[in-house]
Chain A
């Protein structure tokens, strides 16, 4: 029988390797050994995903590797979730999407994975998301934040329309707005009325946590 440490390390490694079958075996081992599911999630699979996020930023891992790791992470998360003792308190719920007219979603997906790797509840609207869809979803799921991504200068200004709509409907400042994507800068984020900006996925997690603390 593997020790708890071995199981957590095994989970993390299987996620890093993007090896879904091995990851499933370790997740099953965690369940069979009654390891706290929350710990298996955070110190096992999510830990592996964080390593991959860092490797990608450092140019040591590429899109195929990231996608395989994400697949392993999501598969094991689905297995472990029903075993969570109390409904784990997520640090918050964020509605994410790529703004209307833009289909570049690789960056958004990586940010989403890293937020989920930190147990954040992410509601993903995908790409080419109409302005109103963001706001409607926020109301529907009672989200704490919106995360918008854009890689196109042609589309990024529409982020302001989302913020304006939030204001009109009295949802701001309660709902925090976070923006990102290659052409977005801190200044631009301020100019559209966003509360936070991050240049990459690791930073995005920190900014989200900061916004949730109300700092």
Chain B
């Protein structure tokens, strides 16, 4: 019998195992198996880990993604975070309380110890529990929000985007410090036993930054993290749920084994085109539509969309059927299961 882990490894290395792996990226949704509120689960690593494991038993997906939310990293520097009872935790930088209030504050960011940092230490703990209990059969993917994304959670993307034009050196100083800490955080997750690190590089998208701004304000720093992951014989996967993502830029800096996306990349017109243009250079994870299909759609809608993606992207390996972003935390869990069903219904066609 093929294990989930073997199935994932095959797909990532451009081979066909028994079927396409299913990764609905059930993160915040997992706690619903126990009926625990979001605010409690997000602050209790044992409960979060148990929820991930238990929901996998119910849904049957092939791997875990250890994302809690995008405000984990910024909290290490003391950025305040809001924990709504039934929604994703969110940095208070976007609610009027940014840690970086003026351009001078960029230069005040200092190195912190990721293993002891508020929230990061929780994710490391989650990684330990999940990897120890499930790492032999299932895929376990750690998660790190890139330095630019992390910085934006302490300043706000709009202000930071102005600052990088008017005060580039201050912004870069902060990015350098942040990247060093994220590097330690990455290593800690790998030592806890994850198989892969998913690096979220959201700003490599046409609707956020240009390619050259991306190179200057994330690529040149964050490339070190990808190198470190490879040194540890772990797998580099990128995540970018923005529109019109820059595959050329992302591949140049990070040489990823896989890229996880929600929308078609820049310059790509269809799933077939995606397979032709990029299918040999990187495995593709995605592209189940979170708001439209997984949240608003029925199980039949999920299966229909999954079928089209499997047909276009799976032949020859190199495709994992994943949700384009985290599985919507409030969507029907049956839609996550429908993704697994679809992978079973439409196996690779034996040539």
Contact among B165, B207, B290, B328 for A18, CB-based, below 8 A: B165
Are the C-beta atoms of B158 and A67 separated by less than 8 Å? yes
Are the C-beta atoms of B90 and A154 separated by less than 8 Å? no
Query: What sequence of 0s and 1s flags, for each residue 52-63 of chain A, a beta carbon within 8 Å of any chain B beta carbon?
Result: 000010010011
A-facing residues in B88-134 (Cβ within 8 Å): 90, 94-95
Which of A89-97, A101-109, A117-125 lies at the binding interface? A101-109
Nearest CB in chain B to that of A62: its residue: B210
A15–chain B nearest beta-carbon distance, Å: 15
Interface size class of A (residues with CB under 8 A): 20 to 34
A56 to B161, CA, bound (A): 15
- The SS class assigned to the A binding surface is loop
Contact among B90, B94, B208 for A63, CB-based, below 8 A: B208
Q: A199 an interface residue at 8 Å Cβ cutoff?
A: no
Query: What sequence of 0s and 1s flags, for each residue 30-67 of chain B, a beta carbon within 8 Å of any chain A beta carbon?
Result: 00000000000000000000000000000000000000
Q: B312 an interface residue at 8 Å Cβ cutoff?
A: no
Q: B164 an interface residue at 8 Å Cβ cutoff?
A: yes
Residues of A within 8 A of B (CB): 18, 56, 59, 62-64, 67-68, 71, 101, 103, 105-106, 109, 127-128, 153-154, 182-183
5 contacts between A and B (CB under 8 A): A59-B207, A68-B162, A103-B90, A128-B94, A153-B331
Residues of B within 8 A of A (CB): 84, 87, 90, 94-95, 157-158, 161-162, 164-165, 206-210, 213, 244, 266, 290-292, 295-296, 328-331
**Interface contacts beyond A105-B94, A106-B158, A127-B95: sample of 16 additional A-B pairs, CB < 8 Å, sorted by A:** A59-B266, A62-B206, A63-B158, A64-B164, A64-B210, A67-B158, A67-B162, A68-B162, A71-B162, A105-B158, A128-B95, A153-B291, A153-B295, A154-B87, A154-B330, A183-B291
The 3 nearest A-B residue pairs measured at CB: A103-B94, A64-B161, A183-B291
